[in-house]
Each structure stands twice: as structure tokens, then as C-alpha cells.
Chains A and B, each alone.
Chain A
Amino acid sequence: MRDLATITSKVLSSLGETTMQALFWELSTQGVTTNPEEFDIRKFDQELKKIFGDGANVFMDEIYIQFKEHVERQHVDLKQIAELDDDSLAPIDKILRILSLKVTT
């Protein structure tokens, strides 16, 4: 979760540092913790959609791409990761699948 939280911060910072801080504050007021140990990507996804509407998918897509690359560099079987690239899945579902892979491998 720590890695995912770090990647999420990095992706949001693409808007600018002060914007990222404003977003994290807004998210924290909605119950999304910024503590890496307790970071809940599902809650983050829900609340980000409330802030940006469909625009939230851009961030979630980028988080998925970076998280997948990060996991690939580490230890998960590349074959299993490749199977996740299903365009019909929402980015949050793909991220959750990677998280489940990490647990089982």
C-alpha cells in the first residue's frame, strides 16, 4: 500500500504541488487517509470521481500504469500482469487485481 500511495501522490503532483496539496486536503475531509499504511485506493477512486467526474479516470489510468510497471520491476510473473490489460475493466479494478496478485504470489 505504501508503494501505491507514493505513486498516487506522484500522479496527482502532475497538476502541480499546491494543487496536489489542495486535493489531498479535500480527500482527507472526505475520509481518504493520506497515511501510506492505511491508504485505501477504492475510497480514493470514489472520492476523486466526486471531485473530477469523468476526469478522475485520467489519474486512475496513470496510477494503474505506474503501479503495474512498479510491480513488474519487482516480483510478479509478467504473464499474469499481461493478462490484466483488459480494456473493459476500470482502472481501479485493474489495480485491485494487481493487489490480489501480490498477495497470492
Chain B
Amino acid sequence: MFRHIDRNHSGGEFGGRHATQSNDSRGFFTKVVIVITTLVLLYGLMKFILFDDKYAVLVFSDLSINAAAAAALFLASLIVYRQKLGGLHGKTYAAFAAGLALWFAAELVQTYYEIGVEDEVPFPSIADALWLLGYGPFGYHLFVTYRFFNRSARPHIVVLVSACTAAVFGSIVPMTILGSSLIEDDLLALFVNVAYPALDAVLIVPAIMMFSILRKGRLGSVPWVLLSASILIIAVGDSAFGYISATSPDSEIWGFSIFYLTGYLCMAGALYCHNQLFIYNMARAMKIWQRQNR
């Protein structure tokens, strides 16, 4: 996860006959997708309206992304609070929350540079260090969950997903390095530019594998569709941004913030669905049971 982008880059008891949570899960998913799509469209519309005022666009983008990251972090923290640290989900979602906390801190630092001091944003900066550190807990979440379920993985799908990811990102990284004007000037900046898509690629494999294992499940598939989508969207943003910023470091790079906003919103959606579907809520269970058994 890079950032930011719209800137100059110099820088059991209730079993009723029809009371099913599964039926609700499709409704949840549809609603969540509608909310995410609406928010992204509104964001795009606002940016279009503010287009002439670059500073207003920057402020709006930063605040929107911060709000989306904060929402995702809040939901992750709520999950940790409700399910505690026991079991697979307890540990992996705590790691996910830690990763989101690091990324949210990175967003705040970046916003401070861009809006708070209105100074040229250093690159790499403390924000980049926080974003890169965040990959650790996210990796833990994805790989530990995948290791738990990998007995159900079909070997040919593992090979296919790994090969496709390696082919796509294996070509992006050399293209970025070879086309880079940073090779002679700033090796650290080039390394950071390349590290983002490379780490994204590492996360993509377990995320897509988890989706492939759980895709036929009515409940299991819901959070993983959104989580896989969020990682893919962020990876696309990172790769394109990394390539452009490495090959034309002095150019103004606009329009990438929508990838990160959508990525955070998809993460928040995944966490919302997990919260609703995989953490027992007696009050909600009772409500559904009463509704279905009137």
C-alpha cells in the first residue's frame, strides 16, 4: 500500500424453520457492495466537481481515505474486542487490526505532510515505513488462515494462482526498475517503489486461494470476496503508481487515490460481514428467530 497520490510525487437454541443467517448473508453482501459502490461514485463525483482546485481535491482525497481507513480499523478493533484472542480467528483478526493500525498511522502521517505542513512530501518517508511494516501483520492474517484451510486447496489452482501472480508482478517489478530514472539518483526510493507491488503480490496468493477454497460457501465466501478484492485493487494502484513515480519522478500523479479508497472500503466491508456472520450475537439471533417464527 503506497500513497498518496493526488499530489505532486516529489515525494443453536433458536433454530426456526426458516430463520437462516445464510439467507441474510446474501442480503448483507449485496447491501455492502451497494454502499461501497455508492461511496466510490460519490467520491469520484466530488473530485470532478472540485477538479479545478487542486488543493481542495488533495484535502478531500486525504480526508476521505483517512475516514475509510478509520472505519476499517474501527471494525477490526470491534472484532478483536468481541471475539477476543482465542482460536484461529482471534489471532488472525488481531493481526489484521494491527496491520490496519499501522496503515492508518501512515495515512495520518501522509496527511500531516500534505495538508498540515503543506510541505514537499519526502519520499521515502515515515509513512512509507509504516505502510511497509503493515504488510507483516496482513501477511500473518492471510498465511495463517490459508495454512489452516490449505488441505482443501486444489493443487492445480495453487499452481495457477501462483504462476499468474508471479507472471504479472514478475514483469511489473523489472519494468519499474529498468524504466526507472531513480537507479542512479536514489536507490532507496526505487527499492520502496518496487517493494509495494512485490509485497502486494505476496498477499494476493493466499487471499485468492482462500477465496477459491471458500467460494462455494454461503457464509465463508462473503468476507473473502471483499478482502481479495481489496488486496487486488490496492495492488493495481501500487503497481501503476510505483511504475509511474519511478519512471517519471517529477511528474504530477493524479487519480490513484480512488484505488486506495476502494481498497479500504472493501476491507471495511469484509470486516463488517465477518462481524455480522462469524461472531455470535444473541440479540441479533433472537431478533431473526422472532421475525421468522411470528
Query: In chain B, residues 127-161, which have Cβ atoms closer than 8 Å to a Cβ of chain A?
Result: 148-149, 151-152, 154
**A25-B280, A29-B14, A50-B218 given; A55·B213 CB < 8 A:** yes
Once the chains bind, are B148 and A28 in contact (CB under 8 Å)? Answer: no
B255 at interface (Cβ–Cβ under 8 A)?
no
Who on chain A is nearest to B285 by CB? A25
Once the chains bind, are B218 and A51 in contact (CB under 8 Å)? Answer: yes
A residues touching B (Cβ–Cβ < 8 Å)? 13-31, 33-34, 49-58, 61
**A53-B214, A55-B213, A55-B220 given; A61·B277 CB < 8 A:** no
- Determine the distance from Cα of A19 to Cα of B19 in the docked complex, in whole angstroms: 18
Shortest CB distance A15–B (Å): 5
- Determine the distance from Cα of A57 to Cα of B214 in the docked complex, in whole angstroms: 11
Once the chains bind, are A53 and B16 in contact (CB under 8 Å)? Answer: no
Once the chains bind, are A52 and B278 in contact (CB under 8 Å)? Answer: no
Which of B14, B87, B151 contacts A17 (CB under 8 A)? B87
Query: Which B residues lie within 8 Å of A15 (CB)?
Result: 87-89, 278
Once the chains bind, are B216 and A53 in contact (CB under 8 Å)? Answer: yes
**A25-B285, A34-B12, A51-B218 given; A16·B20 CB < 8 A:** no
Additional 5 contacts, C-beta under 8 A, given A16-B87, A22-B281, A25-B285? A16-B88, A21-B280, A22-B280, A50-B217, A53-B215
Who on chain B is nearest to A26 by CB? B21
**A18-B83, A57-B151, A58-B151 given; A26·B214 CB < 8 A:** no
Query: Which A residues lie within 8 Å of B88 (CB)?
Result: 14-16
B22 at interface (Cβ–Cβ under 8 A)?
yes
Question: How many residues of chain B get a CB closer than 8 Å to chain A's CBs?
Answer: 38
- Determine the distance from Cα of A26 to Cα of B220 in the docked complex, in whole angstroms: 12
B86 at interface (Cβ–Cβ under 8 A)?
yes
Task: Count how many pairs of residues, one from A and one from B, have CB atoms less than 8 Å apart in the complex.
Answer: 113
Shortest CB distance B226–A (Å): 16
- Determine the distance from Cα of A29 to Cα of B16 in the docked complex, in whole angstroms: 6
Once the chains bind, are A51 and B280 in contact (CB under 8 Å)? Answer: no
Who on chain A is nearest to B86 by CB? A16
Shortest CB distance B271–A (Å): 14
Shortest CB distance B4–A (Å): 35
Select the residue from A15, A55, A57 with max chain B CB neighbours within 10 A. A55
- Determine the distance from Cα of A15 to Cα of B144 in the docked complex, in whole angstroms: 12
**A50-B22, A54-B216 given; A16·B285 CB < 8 A:** no
Which of B13, B20, B82, B87 contacts A26 (CB under 8 A)? B20
B98 at interface (Cβ–Cβ under 8 A)?
no
Query: Which B residues lie within 8 Å of A31 (CB)?
Result: 15
Query: Which A residues lie within 8 Å of B279 (CB)?
Result: 18-19, 22
Which of A21, A33, A55 contacts B217 (CB under 8 A)? A55
**A13-B87, A16-B83 given; A58·B216 CB < 8 A:** no
Query: In chain B, residues 231-287, which have Cβ atoms closer than 8 Å to a Cβ of chain A?
Result: 277-281, 285
